[in-house]
Chains A and B, each alone.
Chain A
Amino acid sequence: MKKCSSVFTSLFLLGVITILSGCSSVAPWERGVLAKPQMALDPHPLQSGVRMHNYGSREGGAGTNAEGGGGGCGCY
């Protein structure tokens, strides 16, 4: 049982080291491509924004997603 545990730990460590070797820091001047809109995690930020706004308005919650006003007034 103990041997099994140490094998598992070694494999786990090996996996972590292998994965971490793929990480590297990106210099600020290398972020031009990452800055493009198509690289965003949310491909449709405008649509998502409107949806969140509508959701907040409909639920009558605090307008944290709205630019102006609160309390779910639905106003911009």
Chain B
Amino acid sequence: MTRYLFLVFFLLSLPVAAHFEGDTPPPHCSLNYQDGSQVQDWQAMKGQVIYIDFWASWCPPCVKSFPFMNQLSQDFKERGLQVIGVNLDEKRAEAEAFLNQYSPNFTVVFDLDKQCAKDFNVIAMPSTYIIDKKGFVRHIHRGFRPNETETMRELIDALLNETI
């Protein structure tokens, strides 16, 4: 009996694991711009490198990541990088206040029903997905640490140099 009890405890303690591996197309998302209009699908952005970042206003690493994403957009936009910040705030007003304060120079969209985050299997805040020119997810990064920005820039640079 004790053995079965241990087994029950062990099974209950296992985390629910789901995988969203690289080198696969990103899931289709229904996202909205700040004015409510619908965002085009990822497939329509084929040929560009897309940097998708899921963020929320209450998350301190997200705040730190904004200057980095601004810089990325500034440095690589001409070469075909599309930086898209997907907001996951539960209260829209908090996101709006944040955006007024930090005024990003990249595209910010809203995942109102959080279905996109679910489909992308977002398990950390912030979570970054980099999609290459062919439309495949090539890199998944969870969290934001300033000492990893250089590696990220090198990766984006390499992806931008790729040809379809």
Contact = CB atoms under 8 A, between A and B. Distances in A.
B131 to A, nearest CB: 20
Contact of B88 (A9, A20, A25, A28): A28
Interface string A37-76: 0000000000000000000000000000000000000000
Nearest to B124: A28
B114 A27 contact: yes
Main SS class of interface, B: loop
Interface in B67-118: 88-91, 94, 114, 117-118
Interface residues of A, number: 13
B140 interface: no
Contacts of B125: 28-29, 31
B114 A32 contact: no
Contacts of A35: 58-59
Contacts of B117: 27-29
Contacts of A36: 58
Contacts, number: 42
Interface residues on B, range: 20 to 34
A30 B114 CA distance: 10
B5 to A, nearest CB: 8
Nearest to B118: A27
B14 interface: no
Interface string A7-40: 0010001001000100001011111100110000
A32 B91 CA distance: 9
Contact of A30 (B8, B90, B127): B90
B98 to A, nearest CB: 12
Given A31-B125, A32-B89, A25 B94 contact: no
Interface of B: 1, 5, 8, 12, 16, 54, 56-59, 88-91, 94, 114, 117-118, 122-125, 127
Interface of A: 9, 13, 16, 20, 25, 27-32, 35-36
Q: Top 5 closest A-B pairs, CB basis?
A: A29-B88, A35-B58, A28-B125, A32-B58, A32-B90
